[in-house]
Structure 1
Amino acid sequence: MLQHLLRLQSKAAGPLGQQIRGIKRAPRSLPVILTQDVSNLGLAGTEVHVNHGYARNTLYPKRFAVPSTEINKERFYRESQMVAAAGASKPSAQETNQMQLGAVLKKLLRTPVVIRQKVEEEGSQSLQEPVTGPMICDAVARQMQVALPEALLDLPGPIVEHGEYNISLRIKLGEGARARLLVNVLPAAA
């Protein structure tokens, strides 16, 4: 009898001897802070409520959102304050294109393009095959990962001797200056 009473005290039993469990009251939505703009959900830095599965299976793995904790809220608040203080806004598409074009031009103007061609005879300056515009564009694409259209090259004629050449580009830099591409034509090893 004593064992039976101890067993009853250890379990919270209902009227039919069944164990009573608490009512599940888990929230149906989970607050998250978006780290990027997500279509049909919100802008970066905003707090939204989503289903647990959507957050766990989509937003967190793709790093579109972080849990809405006090630390994350403070971090995003500080970042938004810094952006507002700096007066920074997202650049327009035209400004982005201008920045990309400027980066490409810097790369083209600073780095020489090296082309190796066979010479006719040892000690000779003449090349077996002249260097043409398409060859220069291919070398720029391979060495600098920049697609340079042949129409931008102001090449008076094919290059027939090895050496260093400054080739004008049909791009105006300002104040009438034109961009130049440095091409080194070196003899190839036999």
Structure 2
Amino acid sequence: MEVILKEDVNKLGHAGDVVKVADGYGRNYLLPQRLAIEATASNKAVIDQMKASALRKSAGDKDGAAALGAELETAELTFERKVGAGDHLFGSVTSSDIAAELAKQGFKVDRRKIALDEPLKQLGEFHVPIKLHREVTAHLKVTVKSDDPNYIPGSQKQELEEAPISGTYDMGQHHYTELE
């Protein structure tokens, strides 16, 4: 089945694109959600007119997206989560979490524009792509850390356990010297 996309659909195409999709996907998802219309000759003519006006509007949107992208490039988000063995999180950091935190900082970004392939489930720093416009993608720095201030990450904990303890200790009548 051929459809004309009315909006950008992730991993399928942009608004105005004519794409071929499975019948069930088109009938059961794209058409009812009003993300696409059937690709008939009359619909194609209407879409061509809409594309022309959209191109004029898109130039202004691109400038706004570029400005927002520059601000997002300098922004940093930090999430604190409970951590289990192997530095794995209990729960995760999702695109919805990132969008909510951005909203708290005054940025209006739709969660669907945050291009996380899968939620963040480990500690560390991540550069999360945000698709603001067809041609503008910003990278946001997201840090995930433990909510326990005394938490030692697994790699550092292992180094501490393997580090030799050296020194001389005087314990009453006994005098001990440990090897390095």
Which TM bucket (shorter chain)? 0.3 to 0.5
Ranked by relative contact order (alpha carbons within 8 Å, sequence separation 6 or more), the top structure is: 2
Structure number, greater radius of gyration = 1
Q: TM-score, normalised by structure 2?
A: 0.43
**Which structure dedicates a bigger proportion of its chain to strand?**
2
Q: TM-score, normalised by structure 1?
A: 0.41
